[in-house]
Amino acid sequence: MKNQVKLLPFTIQSVVDQTNETPKGIQIVQAPSLWEDSNQGEGIVIAVIDTGVDTSHSDLKDRIIAGRNFTTDYNGDSEIFEDNNGHGTHVSGTIAASLNNEGVVGVAPRAKILSLKALTGEGAGNYEWIIDAISFAVDWRGPNNERVRVISMSLGGPKDVPEMHKAIKDAVNQNISVVVAAGNEGDSREDTFEYAYPGAYNEVISVGAVNMDLELAPFSNTHTEIDLVAPGVDVVSTFPDNKFAELTGTSMAAPHVAGAIALLINVSEKEFERTLSEAEIYAQLIRRTVPLGNRKSAEGNGFLQLDIVEKLNDLIQTSSMNVTH
């Protein structure tokens, strides 16, 4: 069972020393429209199971609540979870890079990240490491008794491993949303299916990729368990050594959704005045998708659009005012 989980292959388009922008992906999923109501995701902890994180990055250092290394990197020292690949830092920035007028900003800029390094610098890991990281996320409690509400995994392998599936089901049963990249083995055809695990499990929220023009990315896996799509082409985010990079892959789409769930938990639990179950949070997420016209096996419920509910409310109020006058 060794070294069968890998980073989903991704492309590095460019690396730069500095930038100051709200990345296009963050804008087109309309994340800023929910920042006020959601307090930017404050109080929500997202476990990122990946290659670690650049803990000193100016956009991330205030976001990291804790971390752990499950790999053999750093002589297996469980306390060192620095990112020696780049992927984990990029994913973490899309989820929660701080809104600090420099660098980039994430979908949920006040959420916290629990960085679980379960893949090596080469981007590979044992299934045991992934399983242990998922279990760690479920059991973890923060200094103020915080719990993980979302797990983000931009990784996959060709094998359906029952132990990994069980760990994911356990997490979902503990009311943790498990967001996973669908995979990058797509062949540009919506009618041929490609499966990567854990992305093909029903219990996860499986995220495919579109480009910034909302066209399906040709590499995005298609299968019957895709839940929604998000930006995954030319995504700008944080990169090690305090840098920024533009990356492409379904790996980049999944963190948009993980961050979105942090915002939606805060918005919805304020409205309902209670804690929501994983299924209820999923329903809130899917309410905020827009069909793009592809087959369900390619786009699931559609493209993540965080302001759609508010737009519909405005529309209904406007039309009812027109009726009464």
- Residues annotated as part of the active site: 50, 87, 251
- Could you write out the three-class secondary structure of 259-315? HHHHHHHHHHHHHHCCCCCHHHHHHHHHHCEECCCCCHHHHCCCEECCCHHHHHHHH
Contact 276, 48 (CB under 8 A): no
Closest listed residue to residue 138, CA positions, set 78, 108, 178: 178
In contact, 245 and 85? CB cutoff 8 Å? no
Is residue 195 classed as helix, strand or coil in its secondary structure? Answer: coil
Q: Look at strands 5-7 and 155-156 and give their pairing.
A: antiparallel
Task: Name 178's bridge partners.
Answer: 151
| DSSP secondary structure of 116-169 | EE-S-TTSEE-HHHHHHHHHHHHH---TT---EEEEEE-EEBSS--HHHHHHHH
> How open is the CA angle 200-213-225, to the nearest 5 degrees?
15
